[in-house]
Amino acid sequence: MGQTDMEAVVAIEALNSKSPWSENQFHQCIQWTQVMVLKNTVVGFAVVVEVVDQTELQNISLHPDHVGVGLGSEFLDTVIERLPAQINQIYLEVRVSNFSAIRLYSKAGFAEIGQRRGYYATEYGREDALLMSRSLC
Ligand SMILES: CC(C)(COP(=O)(O)OP(=O)(O)OC[C@H]1O[C@@H](n2cnc3c(N)ncnc32)[C@H](O)[C@@H]1OP(=O)(O)O)[C@@H](O)C(=O)NCCC(=O)NCCS
């Protein structure tokens, strides 16, 4: 991701997230953010933060015009393929109600390793997070 991608990334985040990241948050993560580009247009992004030999997928999001046709799976596979060789485990958190994301991650080989009770805010109270992980060894 470069600075020129910022506007598109912030717009996709605003369309998709119930508590969207600010532009400043993306600035702080710019080195960890990859974009998916189709016909010169940014259609998605993923934020993957590396710490020594582990990594956390903090966010992955596609423009609503491009969901449900396999691009999420393709993008996630590419992001994982590009991780440095020393990374041996990848973690993420996802809302228990986010069925498309849970399906995406399960298909990509992630398994549930725990839950965080009331981790996310919703309009109706709090919502649990699933913790998922995949070994890359
Ligand atoms: C999550 C997201 C990236 C998935 O991308 P996508 O391109 O729609 O995913 P794919 O088309 O590759 O589909 C992956 C799997 O999820 C399934 N899926 C897609 N949308 C679904 C839905 N609404 N409900 C249930 N399953 C769904 C697909 O059928 C596919 O499984 P299958 O191959 O067994 O049929 C995309 O929906 C998105 O950007 N969502 C909003 C942001 C978000 O929630 N990000 C995750 C934060 S943790």
Ligand 1 atom closest to the CA of 59, numbered from 1: 47
User: In what helix (H) or strand (E) does residue 92 lie, and over which residues does it extend?
Assistant: strand 89-95
We report the CATH number of the domain holding residue 28 as: 3.40.630.30
Q: Whose CA is nearest to atom 1 of ligand 1?
A: 101
- Reference 132, options 95, 92, 101; nearest CA is 92
CA 92 remoteness from chain centre: 8
Q: Look at residue 123 in the predicted model and tell me its pLDDT.
A: 86
pLDDT digits (tens, 9 = 90+) for 55-105: 999 999 999 999 999 999 999 999 999 999 999 999 999 999 999 999 999
CA 50 remoteness from chain centre: 13
Q: Which residues line ligand 1 (CB under 6 A)?
A: 16, 60-62, 67-73, 94, 98-101, 103-104, 107
Number of domains in the chain: 1
Q: Look at residue 18 in the predicted model and tell me its pLDDT.
A: 85
Q: Look at residue 63 in the predicted model and tell me its pLDDT.
A: 98
Q: Look at residue 124 in the predicted model and tell me its pLDDT.
A: 87
* Mean pLDDT, residues 7-27: 96
pLDDT digits (tens, 9 = 90+) for 28-50: 999 999 999 999 999 999 999 99
Residue 68 CA, ligand 1 centroid: distance in Å:
6
- Where would I find the H helices in the chain? 6-16, 23-28, 71-81, 99-107
Give the structural domain span for 87.
Answer: 3-135
Instruction: Give the predicted TM-score (pTM) of the model.
Output: 0.94
